[in-house]
Each structure stands twice: as structure tokens, then as C-alpha cells.
Amino acid sequence: MSALDGSNAPWRKEINRRTFVGSSLAVGGAVAAAPLLAACGDSENGASEAQTSVVRMRINGEERELAVDNRTSLLDMLRERAELTGTKKGCDQGACGACTILVGGQRVNSCLTLAVMHDGAEITTIEGVADGDRLHPLQQAFIDEDAFQCGACTPGQIMSGLGCIREGHTGSPAEIREWMSGNICRCGAYTNIAAAIGTAAKES
């Protein structure tokens, strides 16, 4: 071949079929992937923007308006957004009852439900049980009956106990224990807890 066809040019590189096909696939893949990656990025950004909602609730008698991620549990909203840390996070799976609160007067495991599902709800946590410095009869009964030891489960026990009394399931210690069975006490103060609820029920 003559020098006129450029075969001796210093910039010319030998290209075989394998190199050509590999290069073509690499370039083609990059070009095809670019719009897909861009679309994924747009989708994620869109999802992030759509994940925040404003919920309005009446918590312990106070109107609250809170911005939360749609995936936030009611428990995490209360603790992290409303700064009401009396409600405890135990198992975070609905098995221990430590996070029990009242929603519309009904017992709810707050770790198992999303905050956005309760827009407009009436919520009571342990912080809203006492009347100022005056303890609720059930709180006082827990003290009088020595119904708590480490205290980890106590807020949930009291909230569940309030629900139990409201529901009328306090006819006997056995009935109280049955209807309080969703609340676990790792210290084993069940007899005292049942006694406290029974005492408070008589005063209600």
C-alpha cells in the first residue's frame, strides 16, 4: 500500500473485528443507558417530593400540624416530630405494646400504623393523661400498687389500661389480664398491673 492511503500515518491503529464489536457495544450501551439513568433519577426525585405530607391532629388537646414522610409511623412522628417521647419504642413490630396510645379513645400500637393515616385524629399519649400536676387515678394506682419496676413498658401499660377500663373489661383480675395480654412487662409485674387497673376502674 502506498503512503497516499494513510497506511503509514502515525495516528492509524490496527483494528480487528473483536475490538470493533467490543467498542461498538460499549458505546451503544452507554448511549442507551444514559436516558434510562436520567429517567430513574427523575423518578426518584419525583418520589422524594411526593413522600412528604402535612398531617393535622389534635394531640393531648392541642392542635398540631406536622410535615412527615409518608412512610413515617405514628410512633416515630410522635417521638421525632411532635417531640413527645413518653411513648416508647420497644419491639417496633406490634408485639410488646410499649408504644400503645389512644386514637379516638381506642387503643392503638402506634408503631404499626402510618402517621398520614390519622390526619384529623384525636390522639392521647401518656403526656396528656395527667391533669396538670394532678395524676390520673390510674397513674396514681400504678404508684400505690407498685405496678412498675424498670418503667420501660409503663407508658404503654397505662395507655392500654385506660383503654381496658373504657371498654369495660375490668370485671375480674383474670379479665383484666386477658385484655391486657398485648402489653408485655419484662419485669413480670403483671399481678400489680392488674391490681392497679382494677383499683382505677372502681374510681372511674
> What CATH homologous superfamily does 133-204 map to?
[2Fe-2S]-binding domain (1.10.150.120)
Q: Give the CA distances from residue 30 to residues 34, 37, 123, 134, in Å, rounded to whole numbers and listed in that order.
A: 6, 10, 53, 70
State the pLDDT at residue 29. 52
| Residue spans of the chain under pLDDT 50 | 1-14, 20-21, 25, 27, 31
Q: What is the pTM of this model?
A: 0.76
Contact 81, 91 (CB under 8 A): no
Q: Where are the domains of the chain?
A: 17-50, 133-204
Task: Mark 144-169 as b/e (b = at least 16 C-beta within 10 Å).
Answer: ebebbeeebbbbbbbbbbbbbbeeeb
- pLDDT number for residue 128: 98
**pLDDT score for 19:** 54
Q: What is the pLDDT of residue 204?
A: 80
Q: Tell me, what's the pLDDT at 118?
A: 98
Cβ atoms of residues 125 and 59 within 8 Å = yes
CA atoms within 13 A on the CB side of 9: 8
Q: How does pLDDT run across 33-42, given as a tens digit for each residue?
A: 555 555 555 5
DSSP string, 6-22: TTT-TT-----HHHHHH
